[in-house]
Amino acid sequence: MKKIIITLDGYSSCGKSTLAKQMARALNYVFIDSGAMYRAITLYFIEHAIDYTNDTAVQEALKHINLEFDYNESTGTSDILLNGRNVENEIREMRISNLVSDVAANQFVREFGVAQQQKMGLQKGIVMDGRDIGTTVFPKAELKIFVTADPAIRVARRYLELSAKNPGITKEEVQANLAMRDEIDSTREFSPLRKADDAVVLDNSHLTREEQLKTALQWVNEKINSEVVL
Ligand code: CDP
């Protein structure tokens, strides 16, 4: 069957990665979490005390960053490697969430991330989630989905996910972090978060995982069938 590129964009914690993983599994596609790349860059900047506002320092630091994805048999998805080190868990910590949107707004960080993501799409058969995937990374993707969910539901979902590993975390902290990232992501100068004109909207506030997958797979089928030349 014809392989396509599927992009999933949207605000923080609206379930993009969950849906992207479900779709990749169902279609036997590769899932790429572009946010993990910006999170890993942020971890490197923290560990090496790189000032994200200093473009010269940022450009030099990026020369020393190698990002790869490594398939993890036990989770059935890929972990991110920063210079060969598995940082999949570490990049989900709040210290990263608190800084990642500022780092990701830097022009050189964006150019670095986008170039690597575009290379990953050369083979097609991928589902990539992020903020600017349908607008900047793959403007010609066959299927673009813009995922949304009610803000209160997004906070509740992320709080549940984080509190399992961070017993001290509060709902207010999570809510403030999501609001801050959404604001920075949608107002930044270089590839801000916005719905691509040709994206379809999926509001999953009241959908089960099965329901959201069903809707998305219907769109995939429509796209694949509509592109068959008779
Ligand atoms: O926490 P959540 O899963 O919603 O976010 P993420 O996908 O892990 O992305 C973390 C941050 O990386 C976002 O808040 C953005 O600032 C940045 N990002 C971006 O700028 N462009 C992307 N394509 C993906 C993420």
Interval 12-41: pLDDT, tens: 999 999 999 999 999 999 999 999 999 999
Structure tokens at 197: 């004109």
Residues spanned by the domain of 137: 5-224
Number of domains in the chain: 1
For residue 35, the CA-to-ligand 1 centroid distance in Å is 4
Tell me whether residue 230 is in a domain.
Answer: no
| Cα 223 from Cα 213, distance rounded (Å) | 15
| Cα 208 from Cα 87, distance rounded (Å) | 30
For residue 39, the CA-to-ligand 1 centroid distance in Å is 8
For the Cβ of 202 lying below 6 angstroms from any atom of ligand 1, the answer is no
Q: CA end-to-end span of the chain, whole Å?
A: 15
With H, G, I as helix, E, B as strand and everything else as coil, classify residue 177.
helix
Tell me whether residue 99 is in a domain.
Answer: yes
Tell me whether residue 229 is in a domain.
Answer: no
Q: What is the DSSP letter of 199?
A: P
Q: Is the confidence at residue 167, as pLDDT, over 80? A: yes
Closest Cα to atom 3, ligand 1: which residue? 13
Residue type, 38: Y
Band of pLDDT at residue 226, cut at 50, 70 and 90: confident
| Cα 208 from Cα 15, distance rounded (Å) | 11
Instruction: Say which CATH number the domain at 10 has.
Output: 3.40.50.300
For the Cβ of 117 lying below 6 angstroms from any atom of ligand 1, the answer is no
Mean pLDDT within 187-198: 96
